[in-house]
Amino acid sequence: MKSVNGTTGTEEQQSAAAAWVRQFAAGWRDPAGPEQFAAHFEALVDPGFRLVQPMLPTVQGLAEWREGFVRPTFATLPDLRAEVDGWASRGDTVYIEFTMIATVGRRTVRWPAVDRFTLRGGRPVERVSYFDPMPLVRAVAVSPRSWPRFLRGQAMQLRYLLRRRSSR
């Protein structure tokens, strides 16, 4: 994993950014399921962590993160993993460029993504993810074998959204 030129900030901020990127890469390298994945990241992020990304509702806090992101994502793509391609930081903001990899039907699908993390005290308080979901959508569309798993993941997200809405 390479650091991109342009990494700036105090020595402490740069060190925190590099440490976060290493932990991010380790957590995504080959997660052994949603529980291990969640446990890895929950130990590292702020309890009020906020996640914004395409195709999923915005979640705030570790309980919402687990129910609104981790469980539906891994129900849909159980072998999902990522490889970090590069990163850069500016102050308390860290950008990580990576490739998501998952099996859909009988095909391996890869799509690029960039996450922007805001760190406070070396811990992420927010993640905004940028990626084009079309490679994944296309792979699901042409693989009828993947439809039941995809629909289960979508149903989990819908149940989560309905529970969240009724509790507010």
User: What is the Cα–Cα distance from 149 to 101, expressed in whole angstroms?
Assistant: 16
Radius of gyration of the chain (CA): 16
Tell me the pLDDT of the chain averaged across its residues: 90
| Range with the poorest average pLDDT among 120-124, 130-134, 155-159 | 155-159
- Whether pLDDT at 54 is above 90: no
* Most trustworthy range by pLDDT among 41-45, 64-68, 153-157, 158-162: 41-45
pLDDT at 68: 87
DSSP string, 31-43: --SHHHHHHHHHT
Look at the block and give the residue holding tokens 């914004």. Answer: 52
Query: Residue 83: beta bridge partners?
Result: 99
Query: Residue 51: beta bridge partners?
Result: 59, 127
* Most trustworthy range by pLDDT among 7-16, 60-69, 116-125: 116-125
- Whether pLDDT at 46 is above 90: yes
User: What is the Cα–Cα distance from 42 to 36, expressed in whole angstroms?
Assistant: 10
pLDDT at 5: 46
pLDDT at 97: 98
- Whether pLDDT at 62 is above 50: yes
Residue ranges and CATH numbers for the domains of the chain are 2-163 (3.10.450.50)
